[in-house]
Chain A
Amino acid sequence: MNENEIQLKVQALVDGVLTGREAEELQQRINNDATLQQLHERLTQMRGLIANSELPRPLPESGDFYWNKIAESIEREERAGERIAKPTPANRWLLRWLAPLAGVSTVVLLLTLQQPTAPDLGITLSSDHELELSSDEIDVMTYNSDDDSMSIVWLDYSMDIQKDYMELWLD
């Protein structure tokens, strides 16, 4: 273990991440090494200093002005949402089904326009594919390649959505 690795281990011990036998062994090593002991003490001290030290900070503008901007954004987005995405239940239904197809068409169009000499990607849309999304916060890209005998639905979501309910997928 090089010097940098041992420093990070000491930090992990201070942060309570290192446990069990590994922690005991490191603690013994720290007890017999004045430099590590000092590092351990200083890291513990720094941790105590910074934790919960976030300064309370008042808004630099009036609360009303701040709220008005939020309310305007909410209203604007809701109006846009009603106008574009949810005018009527029938259109909403239609959009949910057509949006992915429109996405694919755009991709195909872009590929065609940007790479006139590109090989045929064999991307086709099949009429027996149907897709319904349950969340407005997820976008999808889909394509169906007969050459590769494969259809793909790629879910595109923001980082906080990922955090909210996608992060443990591979556990």
Chain B
Amino acid sequence: MPAEPDYSTAEAPQLVDRAKGGDLQAFEELVSRYRDRAYARAYSIMRNEDLAVDLSQNAWVKAWQRLAQFHGEASFPTWLNRIVTNLCLDELRRRKRARTDSIEEIEEATGPVENRMDIQEVDPMERLNREELRERIDAAMAKLSDNHRTVLVLYEYEQLEYKHIAEKMGTSIGTVMSRLFYARKKMAALLGETLKRDGLIE
């Protein structure tokens, strides 16, 4: 009888292989290693704890069902986060059907109101440590519209190209570029405000 593997020290690919063979305990170990990352990605997009928990759990269930399709082209957590992102996008799409367009979307469609306004200069690197800065960036991301936040997450965190973002969001490359531009502009303005308020910039 083969010895019980030590799941806690096994490498992720080994756990994936065992899970592919139906080993639920190996899968549980994967969940325990990457659950925070999956949840964090869902939260980055949805900005709602309950939804992020539910969607990341659904992603794990889907991952279990689709393990046979995982061939290791990307790392397991990257593959998993792709499923998380897709489920979040499906959820946003479903919710958007029952909602009117946001101001930002109307501006994008009718032409930018703030076209002549520059992107505000934000250079807080010297005064803030990386962790504090990340918290401020996260707080600013929370204030963006769903579309602007999603495009930033897909571009900056998921590191997808314009083309692939357009496919995922079901829109054109031009719209992706425009949303990305406005998202960055809005982020600069929001970061500028908070840093000014904290006396970190003048």
Q: Using a CB–CB distance below 8 Å, which chain A residues touch chain B?
A: 3-4, 7-8, 11-12, 15, 17, 35, 38-39, 42-43, 45-47, 49-61, 63, 66-67, 69-71, 73-74, 77, 137, 158-160, 163-164, 167
Contact = CB atoms under 8 A, between A and B. Distances in A.
Nearest to A40: B119
B71 to A, nearest CB: 11
A42 B191 contact: no
8 contacts: A8-B177, A17-B162, A35-B118, A42-B120, A49-B137, A50-B152, A66-B57, A160-B87
A77 B24 CA distance: 14
Contacts of A8: 174, 177-178, 181
Closest 5 CB pairs of A and B: A57-B40, A160-B86, A42-B119, A53-B137, A73-B61
Interface in B60-87: 60-62, 64-66, 69, 82-83, 86-87
Given A8-B181, A46-B188, A67-B31, A53 B39 contact: no
Given A46-B122, A164-B69, A51 B156 contact: yes
Interface of B: 24, 28, 31-32, 35-37, 39-41, 43-44, 49, 53, 57-58, 60-62, 64-66, 69, 82-83, 86-87, 89-90, 111-112, 115-116, 118-123, 133-135, 137-138, 152-153, 155-157, 161-162, 167-168, 174, 177-178, 180-181, 184, 187-188, 191
Contact of A49 (B40, B58, B112, B191): B191
Nearest to A137: B66
Contact of A58 (B36, B57, B153, B174): B36
Nearest to A48: B125
Given A4-B178, A67-B32, 10 more contacts: A7-B115, A17-B162, A45-B122, A46-B184, A57-B40, A57-B43, A73-B57, A137-B66, A160-B87, A163-B167
Contacts of B31: 66-67, 70
Contacts of B187: 46, 49-50
Contacts of B134: 53-55
Q: Chain B CB within 10 Å — which of A35, A55, A63 has the most? A: A55
Contacts of B191: 49
| Chain B binding surface, main DSSP class | helix
Contacts of B167: 163, 167
A158 B43 CA distance: 22
B121 A42 contact: yes
Contacts of A69: 57
B119 A61 contact: no
A55 B135 contact: yes
A99 B106 CA distance: 44
Residue from A3, A49, A57 whose CB has the most chain B CB atoms within 10 Å: A49
A159 B90 contact: yes
Contacts of A159: 86, 89-90, 168
A61 B53 contact: yes
Given A49-B122, A70-B60, A7 B24 contact: no
Nearest to B153: A54
A19 to B, nearest CB: 13
Contacts of A50: 137, 152, 156, 184, 187
